[in-house]
Structure 1
Amino acid sequence: MNQLSKLHIEGFRSIKNADIPLRALNVLIGANGAGKSNLIDFFRMLSYALTRGFQAPYLVERGPASAILHFGAKVTPLVRAELSFNTPDGTNTYRFSLADSTGDRLTFTREEVQFHREGEPLPTPPIPVIPRPSDESGLSELWSENDPTVLFIKKMVSRCRVYQFHDTSLTSHMRDACPVDRNRNLTSDGGNLPAVLLAMRKDNPENYASIVRTLRLVLPWFDEFILEPQGPAQKQRVLLRWRMAGRTEYEFDPGQISDGSLRLMALVTLLLQPVDKLPSLLLVDEPELGLHPVAEQVLAGLLKSVARETQVIVATQSATFLNYFEPQDVMVVEHENAESNFIRQNPDELASWLKRYSLGDVWNKNLIGGRP
């Protein structure tokens, strides 16, 4: 499996200088404000940059530069990052720098890729992706696909996707009808959930059946989705409607689903979609929010299962959720001396504690850090 093996970040929000080794499954845990969400946002920034959306909407919505640079431009003039992707043939590296510019903005001042073939003593020379400082990433340009290393990096970075299903209010996109043809990939906020389920029911019935079975396991009142397109043929929309177990003569609309249940429907759909639909790196922020402990256990099992197919980073604050993972999959995020540190746990060092306590208990007792 091609995966991001090493990540180095300097000067991005609370991350002053961090080397972050990554595995197939990575569970981040720490106190509020420790820096978990800042790491997630780093990948959100990359997603916008690859679609020429770095200046707007990313910087407009999540900036300005003074809010992104670690303690502002006077303290930190640059954001620097290096991502190393391992493949069977060797290591592909992507580096970039962002500098403060006029108008409290950020500009790409350096962007390059490099390949180190397995067994070779030295990597190939770096390949510049931008000829001069640029407001947008060179990876967003069509001409950048001419080099195989650039093309590989572009594909890998573009398939790093952040999912956050926190907005389950009555006005959230998940509770609204969406276009039927908006079904290629589940969006970051789950706003096209009914369209994705409808397409999966037709094209991937086994995956769809697995979703329904799993939801029945954790939502005993749930029987089946009702996914009926409405409207003119070319402008059909579909709403997330459902039937209740034991009362299948009634049909319910999305306004009658609890917040936790709606969030769980999106999470289960995300994690049980066909393998070819999975991103290369799947990032989920606090998926356990509002879930029953039984649902947490099922969700953890799904995350561990999908990590065999693609790379996963999940951020959590739940000690009970942490219990379902192995120590080596956990990174404690500490905020010390005004900067975030990411500490991979060593199972050998925790062995004696884990004979008496669960991993969540060890964290609660502040034996591995990451507590307020």
Structure 2
Amino acid sequence: MSEQFSQPLSEHPPRNEDHAPRTELQARLERIRIRGFRSLADVELDQLGDLTVVVGPSGAGKSNFVRFFDMLSWMLRSRRLGEFVARYGGADDQLFGGADETMRLEADLSLRTQVGRNDYRFALSHAHPDRFVFIEEAFRFSRDGLPTEANWRHLGAGHHEAQIVDAGHPSAEPSANRTTAATIVRLLRSCATYQFQDTSDESNFKRRWDADDNLRLRRHGGNLAALLWRLEEEDPEVFEEVCAQIRRALPGLRAFEVDENYGKVTLAWRANWSERRFTTNLTSDGSIRLFALLTLLNLPSDLMPNVVLVDEPELGLHPAAIEVVADSVQALAGRKQVIIVTQSPRLVDALDVDEVVTFDFLEGRTEARRRDRGELQAWLEEDFSNPM
């Protein structure tokens, strides 16, 4: 059984600026400080706005920054910090210089809402057998307009999974602390990372996927076919916008097709210049990534997290496609908080931001620094081009 997504063609249509967002941005990540995680001995990003661009050469620690957000997801969304640690080499591998040099991993996060600031901090210590134990976990809410900050609510020590999830659960005793804990968990669970680098023959893009797995685009993009199928059926205006943006970078796209068999779907497409049907196995890596990226960046707000972190979106893309991606990123930043991690000066230039955060690897550790346009240009010319 095959369903074809059809769409009237137009030549390089501009972005539909009249397509209103479904929801307004209600909360944002304001500050994050990470100490002792992999190469991030002590890295702080503050004054985070609608769009933050992190740029650095290969090996500077950008992937470790992304991995920290993955760890948060394992901690708070599924409460499987122990599984994350085991999957990625044990606690020793997560610590800066290993446990012999750094015994604890610490993080402080601040989240801004319309009425105040929510703070969450935790510290993890290396424990036998090569796992983490919490030695501190605390949270607070400081309301705007008050002369002092709120006191911290401490959640104890000695546990192996995040206790803030229990503190904010509806079964917990009703209190202001429960409300604050629930708010922090909800906000941090709504931070999602997206990495579309893997387009190998064994990648999720080229697998048959459950048709019902279409509520959100997964971090690896493997359920792209299922999500496009849902959009075409339930939100054709958004589907047409996605197709229009893809055609700006790939004018030869005629239509997407999704094959459904016994609840599994696969993605294919047709081109203007050929009658052949192109499956993902016959599609270039750059085109597959482009399909996933522009779908993600043009989704309605109710299908997206509040904080969208995209790792190296420029990989495999033609310069013209990078311009289209940058346009979609800027549009998305008007309704969601976006963090772009890149090693592409071209993408940084296309995003046209006043400041960026640069990552350098100096004396065995990642150094983060906020730079304005003038400083960035000098850094790109003097430091970025030098080998690590």
Taking structure 2 as the reference length, the TM-score comes to 0.87
1:371–1:279 Cα change, 3 Å: farther
Q: 1:126 — aligned with what?
A: 152
1:369–1:328 Cα change, 3 Å: farther
Unpaired segments ≥5 residues, structure 1: 351-358
Q: 2:382 — aligned with what?
A: 366
Q: Is the aligned partner of 1:5 residue 2:30?
A: yes
- CA positional deviation for 1:252: 2.6
**SS state of the match for residue 136, structure 2?**
strand
Higher relative contact order (CA 8 A, sep 6+): 2
Q: 1:296 — aligned with what?
A: 322
Deviates more, 1:80-89 or 1:338-347: 338-347
The CA distance in 2 between the partners of 1:205 and 1:135, in whole Å, is: 45
- Aligned residue runs from structure 1 range 1-372, under 5 A: 1=25, 2-21=27-46, 22-50=48-76, 51-56=78-83, 58-128=84-154, 130-141=155-166, 144-145=169-170, 146=172, 147-231=178-262, 236-247=263-274, 249-347=275-373, 349-350=374-375, 362-366=378-382, 372=388
**SS state of the match for residue 240, structure 1?**
strand
Which letter does structure 1 place at the counterpart of 2:29? L
**SS state of the match for residue 340, structure 1?**
strand
**SS state of the match for residue 186, structure 1?**
coil
Say if 2:119 and 2:140, in contact at 8 Å, map to a contact too: yes
The CA distance in 2 between the partners of 1:12 and 1:253, in whole Å, is: 40
- CA positional deviation for 1:142: 7.6
Say if 1:328 and 1:344, in contact at 8 Å, map to a contact too: no
- CA positional deviation for 1:371: 6.7
The CA distance in 2 between the partners of 1:173 and 1:102, in whole Å, is: 35
Unpaired segments ≥5 residues, structure 2: 1-24, 173-177
- CA positional deviation for 1:33: 1.4
Which letter does structure 2 place at the counterpart of 1:101? A
CA deviations over 1:261-316 (Å, ceiling 9, x no partner): 00110001111111111211111111100100000011111111111111111111
The CA distance in 1 between the partners of 2:336 and 2:63, in whole Å, is: 21
Say if 1:138 and 1:144, in contact at 8 Å, map to a contact too: no
**SS state of the match for residue 74, structure 2?**
helix
- CA positional deviation for 1:131: 3.8
Which letter does structure 2 place at the counterpart of 1:20? L
Say if 1:288 and 1:318, in contact at 8 Å, map to a contact too: yes
- CA positional deviation for 1:52: 1.8
Say if 1:300 and 1:325, in contact at 8 Å, map to a contact too: yes
The CA distance in 2 between the partners of 1:283 and 1:139, in whole Å, is: 23
Say if 2:57 and 2:384, in contact at 8 Å, map to a contact too: no
Say if 2:60 and 2:361, in contact at 8 Å, map to a contact too: yes
Q: 1:353 — aligned with what?
A: none
4+ long deviations beyond 6 Å: 367-371
The CA distance in 2 between the partners of 1:321 and 1:34, in whole Å, is: 18
1:240–1:368 Cα change, 3 Å: closer
Q: 1:354 — aligned with what?
A: none
1:367–1:167 Cα change, 3 Å: closer
**SS state of the match for residue 197, structure 1?**
helix
The CA distance in 1 between the partners of 2:383 and 2:223, in whole Å, is: 42
1:114–1:193 Cα change, 3 Å: same
The CA distance in 1 between the partners of 2:210 and 2:185, in whole Å, is: 28
- CA positional deviation for 1:187: 0.6
The CA distance in 1 between the partners of 2:202 and 2:101, in whole Å, is: 40
Deviates more, 1:142-151 or 1:300-309: 142-151
Which letter does structure 2 place at the counterpart of 1:13? R
**SS state of the match for residue 354, structure 2?**
helix
The CA distance in 2 between the partners of 1:80 and 1:127, in whole Å, is: 17
The CA distance in 2 between the partners of 1:269 and 1:13, in whole Å, is: 32
Which letter does structure 2 place at the counterpart of 1:162? T
**SS state of the match for residue 324, structure 1?**
helix
**SS state of the match for residue 221, structure 2?**
coil
Say if 2:140 and 2:180, in contact at 8 Å, map to a contact too: yes
Which letter does structure 2 place at the counterpart of 1:121? P
**Percent pairwise identity:** 33
Say if 1:28 and 1:316, in contact at 8 Å, map to a contact too: yes
* Number of residues of Structure 1 aligned to a counterpart in Structure 2: 355
- CA positional deviation for 1:206: 1.1
Deviates more, 1:139-148 or 1:308-317: 139-148
Tell me the C-alpha RMSD between the 2 structures: 1.9
- CA positional deviation for 1:92: 0.4
